Each structure stands twice: as C-alpha cells, then as structure tokens.
Structure 1
C-alpha cells in the first residue's frame, strides 16, 4: 500500500510537472544534460548500495549485536535471491508499457522505496535477538531486490536511448564515472558522518548516515528521470506485452550476447576474488595491513581511463578495448607477484591492474546494447530487459558471489587459519587466491571476445537496418 500510494500520489505530482522534450532520434547525439543525468543514476545507486554492502556486516555484528553466523546466513540468502531476481526484473521491464517507455518509469516508481528500505536496513529495533535477525533479513533483502529493480533498467535503457554505438559508449563512460564518484563519496564520507551524526552513538550514526545517503540517492534518481528519454515511447506504449516465452526466445542464436555473458561472468569472478583477497595479502604476506586504505583509494585512478574510452574507440574496435583491459589486468596481477615485498612496485602494479579491470568493467555496459539490437535484427524480438539483466546484473551478482566463494575455497584448501600467523602453505594459498587465480580468469575472459569481433563488424549494417524498420 505504501508503494502504491507513493506511485499514485507523489508520482502523479512529479509526472505532471515534467515537460516532455522531443524524443531523441536513433543516431543523434544526446545533450550534456542527458549525459549528466544518466551518470547521476550510478552515483545514486553506488552511494547508497555500496554503503550497505560495505558496512552492513559490521553494523549487524558490532552495532546490532547479531551473531556473525546469523549475519553470514542473512547475507548468503540475499546473494541467492540476487541470482534469481535479476532475470525476473528483466522480464518485468520487457512487459512494462507506459507513456515514459519501458525503463524510465522505474526511476520514478522505485527510488523512494529503495531509499526507505536501505535506510531501514541500518536500524535495529529494540526487540529480541531473533526478532532483530528476522527484521534485518527482511529489510536487507527487500533493499537488495529494489536495488536490482533500479540497476536493471539503468543498464537496459541505454539501447533504448540511442541506436548510435558512439553515443552509447559516451553515455556509458558518464555512467561508469558516476559510479566511481558514488563509491569515492561513500568511502570518503561514510565513517566521518557516522561519527559526526551519532556523536559517539554508532547506532544513531549509522541510521542518520543511511538516511542522508538515501535522500541524496532518491533526489539524484528523480533528477535523472526528469531529464533522460527513451526513443519511440508512443510506439512502445501501444505494443503488446512481450510474453515470457518470447523473451527467452531472443536468446536463441544470439551469439554476441552469449559470448558477452560468458566473458562478463568470468570477469566478475576474477575481479571479486582479487578485490576480496587484497586485505589478506597485505595483512599476512606483507605484514602491512596499514596499507589497505591507501590501496583501496588508489583504485579510483581508473576513472581517468574510463573517461578516455570514447577516445580509444576512435582508433580501436570496442572488442579490442575490452580485451586490452583484461590483458592489462592480467599483467598487473603478474607484476604484483614480481613485486614481492617492494611496496612501491606493488602499488604501481596494483594501479595498473585496476586500470585494466576498470576498462574491462565498463565495456559490457556499452556493448550489451548491440546484443539487444542483434536479437531484434535476427528474431524480430527486442527483449531489452532480460538480455541486459542476464548480461549485466546477473553476471555482477553471481560472479561476485562465486568470486568470494572461490577465494575462500582456495585459501582453505591451502590451510589458511584466520587471525593466526600463516604457514608457508597458507601464504601460498593467499598468493593463489589474490594473484594467480584472478590473473588466469582475466585472461580466460578474453577468449570468448576473440570470437565476438566478427559480430561487432556487423554493427553498422544492423543499426542501419533497424533505423530503416523503425522509420
């Protein structure tokens, strides 16, 4: 009832104030305002969601008093649900028909519920411990589901905003830069805000900080809703809803999509495994846990290279930019092994690896739109939602879960013992989990892309054919 009241009352007020601009044409460049607005969606999402994913475990155990075992079960269940809800949201988007298109209306309907439940995740009611655990599980899982509901149309709307490959690449650079800014702002302000707003009370500090981030996130998402546009909304509004069977039929024979999903899933396994185990490598292998904040902050240097991707695309095919990023990430891992205990060399190698992974991370979002176009061109079915949901959100969440699990399995198999000096075998296990397994997976992710290039060469013809049909 709360959600419906928000959608029908507040939503109507906001919608009635929006002046509809001329819809973008398929090949036209979009305005600076639309690019900024698209980027602001990832600032909004990362600011709030990354605050939750970074600090929720600490809040549960050290503030709310929930046991580590119970907190672990809550987070595990959330990850399992994450693997299921992405394709469901994709199907929902494919069935959405509104005056604002398929994806854009969700930026009006979901930001307030997402903000509310994200903030409520950092509130611990004064009830029994069992009640606290149940409340924590429900609030966090709903927040996670709503985040998927916002993040899926964020990716899916890109091919609906423009048919131009060049403009999609530019928009994606704005998005990825916005995402990095969101993470940077969260990392820089979260704990100082907790200390300031709580005035010594961590429980108050966390809930007030969550509310602050929730308000900013909601405002940025509504700002984006007001300014971005989908193509052909009149046509979409009167199209019959896409049956689920047809949504899945769009995957059949869509080799560009299959190859990108495979590459992106492997990439996220590698990325999560590397990023999860850096703290173990610094703590146990180098005895330099003090470097963790510095190392994590240096990862933001990749923003400069994400911004430069449209420039690179003038000279290189998008496939080779993606492959190049993966190979640079692989090389950075090998260089970290060669650095051994040379901290300067290690930091340089870490930066290099993050530049590569940053480029590789951004490319699927820019290129999945082509897979949607290919499916529409080949089958006549434009199943934007489910293709993008599997290709982006599912890969991120499933890959991140598998990456964390693989890291734990590798270290455990070598005899890792928490909070103790490690044996030689335990230290070797950390090296494998942090360096060799991610490096091998980064390289492995490049293999499907070698077969993708021939499809990218068809992009201009497919775009031309679709523009002809749409006109």
Structure 2
C-alpha cells in the first residue's frame, strides 16, 4: 500500500470527528425548526389554511428535490485548495441562517401574496440553501477516509451532533418563542430563529476549519452525464434512495404532527417541547451503532431500528392519554428511529464505492446528494402534505375545538402512519443484504485499481 493510499485509510482524529458532528448539529438546529414547526407556524401564526400550507410544503419540496442532483453535480465539479465539499460549510452558513430567519417572518400580507411569500422563503431556506448544506455534509464522508470502520465512526459522531441540534431546537424553540414574543408568536419566532442562526454559523465555520478531505485525489471533475452514469446498475443505491425517501415521510410526520397531538389531543401545546426534547435520548441508540453493526451488519441494524420504532408507535395507540405511558412509548419510538435513520447516511458512502466499482465513475457528490438531500426533501414534503390532507378531510380547523373525527385524524397521522411506512421501508431494505456482503471485495478491488492507476501515472 503506497503513502497516498495509507493517507486515505488513516484513522480520523477525534477533533475532526467532533467538528464533523457540528455540520449536522448546525443543519438540524435550523432544519428541525423548519420541519417541526413550519406547518404549525403557517396555520396557527401566519393564518394560512392547513390545506394551503400542506400544498405549499409539497410543491416546495418537490421543486427543492430537483435541486439535489444539481447540487450533487456542483459538488462533483468543485475543486479548491480547501477540498471538494468542505468549502460549502463556509460559503453557505450565513445564507442558510438568513433564509431560515425570513421563512419564520410573518409580514402583514393577505391572499396570494402571503402564499407566494411563504412558498418562496420556504423553498429558499428548507430547499435550495439547505440542500446546498446537506449535500456536502454527506458527500464529504467518503472523501474523509476509505476505511469503512472509520466511516461508521465519523457518521456516528455526525448523528450525535444532529441529535443534539435537534434536541436544542425541539426543546427550546417554543419556550423561546413564548419568552421573546411575550404573547406575540410572530416576534417570538423571529428572535428565536435569529439566535439559532448565529449558533449554526459558528458551528459550520468550525467544521470548515477542522475537517479534511483525503481521498479527493482519486476524484476527477465529472460532467453531469457522467454523474448519471454512476447510477447505472447501482442497485444498492436505488434501494437506499427509495427506502430513505419513504422513511422521511414517517420522520417528518412524527415531528410535524407532534405539536398538533400535544395541543389538541393531549390539551397542552407546550408538551411538544417535551416530545421533541426527548429526541436527545436517541443519542444512546446512535452511539450504539458501531457496536450493533459489528455484531450484525448495517442492514440488520436498520431493520432492528425500524422494528423497535414500530413497536413504540404501536404502544402509543393503546395507552390513551396517560402521559407517562405516552412518553414511555415515545421514547421507545425515538430509540428505534435514531438507530434506523443513522444507517442510510453511512450506507451511501458504500454505494459511492459500488458505483465506482461497477462503472469506473466516482460521483460522490451526485450519489450522496440524491441519496440524502433529495430523499429528505421529497419525503419531508409528502410527510407534511399527506397529514395535512388527512386532517383537512377530517374537518381540522386551526385554533378551534376539534371534532372527534379531526382528533382521530391527528392520532392516525401521529401514531399509525409511521408504522405503515416503517413496514414498507423494512421490506425494501431486506434486498440490500446481498450487496452489503459484497463490500469487502469491492474495497479490495478498488484499492488494487487505484494502486495500478497510480503506478501508471508514475
């Protein structure tokens, strides 16, 4: 093994892994605020109908999803002294914070002007700019190291950072809105997102400073058509894209409907902070990922997470309004979801290797952009649209006493819809097992191929 190959397989410093975790911490600090509260902000603060808000989110997410492969191709074409993916942590940090602030600003508008403003600012913050952040966060992983064990370790740090970011916004967003708004939620959301934005900028700047890309030497600028060729025959990538997009319908539904379930079914809106704040417990599942993968494999670990998550969701259906039991069931669901959601991000790095092995083209930006940002955007869009349509059909009206059918629709979306989705995702992922078994051979073949190419250049 030559010096460059050893460098590519080097163990990552702990400081670098911690700094890598800051990328998802910053992303979730702002994006979880959007995904968890934007539907509520539109209906209960900005006074947009639930059907109109749901349509905005769906149309915006579909448009945003299209930007994912574009961003992937942009990353694949990026070659600077700082690396391929890393510069975007610097370039997009401030625009991301500003766009999120405007998404939660409610100017005095009416009719179509209000819908256009909401749609534009949402697409900009949760779509175009967030996709530009999310793409390099995932695309940089296969460039940090070629060692699969180190990739799992770095991804675990990342997921823990994401959980911390999600915990902060989920726990403190509504209390901060109440504190700064003093009865005016419009002002409260503006101040809260401004503070979160400043923190996110600091985190992304720190990640830019400390994270490095080591395998970038084997990556060449790719025309968009060549990026597309990297998907040809890449069956494990197809499986991940489909399953992860569907999975994010459940993830978005659980987060977005929790505020409605707490406010209308349990009668206390502030319990949303308890529900979402408990997401931090998912760190326990996240840090167990390397151990679980070591004794099973990545696919089985994801299936175990889906099963645990489904059990927790089902338990909530049978405990009524007993808050202690609802919280217990919710925690079980969090543990399962945290284990399941961590795996596709690590698996995407492996599908980049598979694509190179199969086609000779290494399109880390494009493949990870579609496999992460595209899936998150598309799945989250449907995760907001589907519940909004179900609730609207059942007669939901914001800030009113809900009918029995409206309450039942909220409970269905919060409890049963994620279970249905988990089952579908689990069925799809069973087919991934055969490709995971091929990874040692793929890694060995690529190492030999890279060595031969290096020798030819010498």
- Superposed pair shares fold, TM > 0.5: yes
1:373-408: per-residue Cα shift (whole Å, max 9, x none)? 000011101111121122111111211222333334
Alignment of 1:21-420 (within 5 A): 25-56=7-38, 74-123=56-105, 137-144=119-126, 145-194=128-177, 205-234=188-217, 236=219, 239=220, 241-281=221-261, 291-411=271-391, 415-418=394-397, 419-420=400-401
Length, aligned pairs only: 445
Residue 456 in 1 paired to residue 436 in 2?
Answer: yes
Separation of aligned partners in 2, 1:411 and 1:199: 30
Deviation at 1:226, TM superposition (A): 1.1
Question: Residues 91 and 386 of structure 1 are in contact (CA less than 8 Å); yes or no, is this contact kept in structure 2?
Answer: yes
Higher relative contact order (Cα pairs below 8 Å, separated by 6+ residues): 2
TM norm structure 2: 0.86
Stretches of structure 1 that go unaligned for 5 or more consecutive residues are 1-21
Could you say if the C-alpha distance between residues 387 and 197 of structure 1 is closer, same or farther in structure 2, counting changes exceeding 3 Å?
Answer: same
Give the secondary structure class of the aligned counterpart of 1:339.
coil
Separation of aligned partners in 2, 1:116 and 1:275: 23
Question: Residues 101 and 230 of structure 1 are in contact (CA less than 8 Å); yes or no, is this contact kept in structure 2?
Answer: yes
TM norm structure 1: 0.83
Could you say if the C-alpha distance between residues 336 and 242 of structure 1 is closer, same or farther in structure 2, counting changes exceeding 3 Å?
Answer: same
Deviation at 1:338, TM superposition (A): 3.1
Could you say if the C-alpha distance between residues 83 and 32 of structure 1 is closer, same or farther in structure 2, counting changes exceeding 3 Å?
Answer: same
Separation of aligned partners in 2, 1:291 and 1:388: 36
Question: Residues 286 and 342 of structure 2 are in contact (CA less than 8 Å); yes or no, is this contact kept in structure 1?
Answer: yes
Equivalent residue for 1:3?
A: none
Deviation at 1:223, TM superposition (A): 1.0
Deviation at 1:439, TM superposition (A): 1.3
Equivalent residue for 2:454?
A: none
Could you say if the C-alpha distance between residues 439 and 371 of structure 1 is closer, same or farther in structure 2, counting changes exceeding 3 Å?
Answer: same
Separation of aligned partners in 2, 1:429 and 1:180: 28
Could you say if the C-alpha distance between residues 201 and 447 of structure 1 is closer, same or farther in structure 2, counting changes exceeding 3 Å?
Answer: closer
Equivalent residue for 1:441?
A: 421
Equivalent residue for 2:456?
A: none
Equivalent residue for 2:403?
A: 422
Q: CA RMSD in A?
A: 3.2
1:279-308: per-residue Cα shift (whole Å, max 9, x none)? 555566666766443333223211111111
